[in-house]
Structure 1
Amino acid sequence: MDLHELTHPYTPGATPGPASYLLVWDAPNLDMGLGAILGGRPTSAHRPRFDAIGRWLIGEAQALADASGQRVEPEATVFTNVSPQGADSVRPWVEALRNVGFAVFAKPKSDEDSDVDKDMLAHIERRQAEGVLRGVVVASADGQNFLEPIEALAADGIPVTVIGFHEHASWAVNSPDVRFIDLEDIPGVFREPLPRVNLDALPEGGAWLQPFRPLISLLTNTREQ
């Protein structure tokens, strides 16, 4: 199976495609989690390699096909926000994703309600309604929005996997209905090990845990309320 078979784009009114093993990637959420681990913006050594993620997804889809005896195609979409005047900086990344074989859903970032979570859930629901959904991988640490819907999928017999960082996804790690895979455990995703801090095994000298966002962001939140 070729890596470029990962595209399975949605076209309104189109006939449903083949059985799908679906990955939805919450870029804003995982970027925030990675930044928290690194204590700042990631360098190229600590940015996830989507070709490695694609190869892993192909293997997962093939294993499911072998077990079920039917053709199952991998499908991957990265969901992201684009801030005002941010298109030029994001464009090379979006083009690189599409060149690997990922679809991209991009949405303007205008306010706190313009997150892509609802769009991710709508895409999953669309595939399920089409009758083609055979498995789901959710790449996100957002348990508030995703836990209930994916547990409902699991109850319907659709295998569900969550990939992310175990520090930020205890809801998935502890769910009996969800398989959790730490992003760093997928072969080749990061060129170098992440500088992670485990609260259950802190070094004797202690460790610094960086904030998820600048303190000054409180002023922005106050003005919006």
Structure 2
Amino acid sequence: MRGARLRRRAVRRATAPAGPPRTGEAPSPVPPSTRQTAPVTDLDLAPEPAAGADLIEGRPRPALDLLIWDAPNIDMTLSTVIGARPTAASRPRFDAIAAWFVEGAGDPAAPDAPEVEACVFANIPPVVGTLQRWVEALRSFGFAVFARPKLQPDDDIDQDMLDHIAVRQHSHRLRRLIVFSGDGRNFAEPLEELARSGTQVVVVAFSEVAGYAISSDLIEFIDIEDVPGAFAVPLDRVRLDALPPDGAWLRPTRGLREFVTTFLRRNG
């Protein structure tokens, strides 16, 4: 199964932001760009290795641990589980997440140490606001950012994430894939396919909205709040997967009289 490849969900050319990570091999004959916004690379134009091959263009394919962050999905599900608009205190800490991810890759001096790459995929609205500072902070933490303008309500980055995984599976031996997303509609089938081919696949999301990963026999699941240091303070959420043995009281999120008053007003 080593030669398995992700099936693309749309008829389009697979692309990846910023090109492959540097591997220490001979430099490309194409001079590197000095621009901060890198062009995409095209999977369809690269030579395809034979099924099960560990070589591409005569060189060993380097091992890679890859992190994919689905920013729209994580933002939306965070709002859902805490029942409010996220604040600076309730947003994930990417510095801690980077440290956890790199530590999981093992000793960088080991002979079989993989390369590491972390990518955040984001839709950028017409009014950027504070997103500029957020993107620059991510880049300073070592994350590549794939930013696509959101000009229409149905503009999204789902296929871009799958395309990038396919590009890395082509250019590297994808040893470990960490996907931060609760989007089972787009990820469940491709991630299970990767797991069958020998890649360690881990989904990190909120347990309330990641049933596809929790119920899978092939995908490992970690609740995002269980990543050490991922949040500065505990989130105000109900985790039915982490109840104490003696049980717990779950306080109402709305006053009883307030609810009844609203209910009677609506129903006469």
| TM-score > 0.5 by shorter chain | yes
- Give, as a single letter, the amino acid of the residue that structure 1 aligns with 2:149: P
Quote the residue 2:99 is aligned against: 55
Change (3 A) 1:39 1:150: same
Spell out the pairing of 1:133-148 with structure 2 (5 A cutoff): 133-148=174-189
- Give, as a single letter, the amino acid of the residue that structure 2 aligns with 1:129: H
Quote the residue 1:8 is aligned against: 21
Q: How many angstroms apart in 1 are the aligned matches of 2:156 and 2:200?
A: 25
Higher relative CO (CA 8 A, sep ≥ 6), structure 1 or 2? 1
Aligned length: 200
Give 1:19 shift: 2.1
Q: How many angstroms apart in 2 are the aligned matches of 1:34 and 1:63?
A: 32
Q: How many angstroms apart in 2 are the aligned matches of 1:54 and 1:137?
A: 11
Contact preservation (8 Å) 1:8, 1:103: no
1:23 aligns with 2:67: yes
Scaled by the length of structure 1, what TM-score is found?
0.79
2:158 to 117, 129, 132: 117
Give 1:174 shift: 1.2
Contact preservation (8 Å) 1:19, 1:72: yes
Change (3 A) 1:93 1:138: same
CA RMSD of aligned residues (A): 2.7
Contact preservation (8 Å) 2:69, 2:119: yes
Q: How many angstroms apart in 1 are the aligned matches of 2:89 and 2:127?
A: 26
Scaled by the length of structure 2, what TM-score is found?
0.67
Q: How many angstroms apart in 1 are the aligned matches of 2:248 and 2:79?
A: 21
Gaps of 5+ in 1: 1-6, 210-225
Contact preservation (8 Å) 1:23, 1:136: yes
Q: How many angstroms apart in 2 are the aligned matches of 1:199 and 1:170?
A: 13
1:40 aligns with 2:84: yes
Give 1:154 shift: 0.4
Which moves more between the two structures, 96-105 or 10-19? 10-19
1:151-210 superposed Cα distances (whole Å, 9 cap, x missing partner): 00001011100001000101101111011011110111111000112457696565339x
Q: How many angstroms apart in 2 are the aligned matches of 1:182 and 1:204?
A: 21
Change (3 A) 1:205 1:37: closer
Spell out the pairing of 1:1-225 with structure 2 (5 A cutoff): 8=21, 12=41, 18-62=62-106, 70-86=112-128, 88-198=129-239, 207-208=252-253
- Give, as a single letter, the amino acid of the residue that structure 2 aligns with 1:42: P
Secondary structure of the equivalent of 2:68?
Answer: strand
Percent of matched pairs sharing the same residue: 47
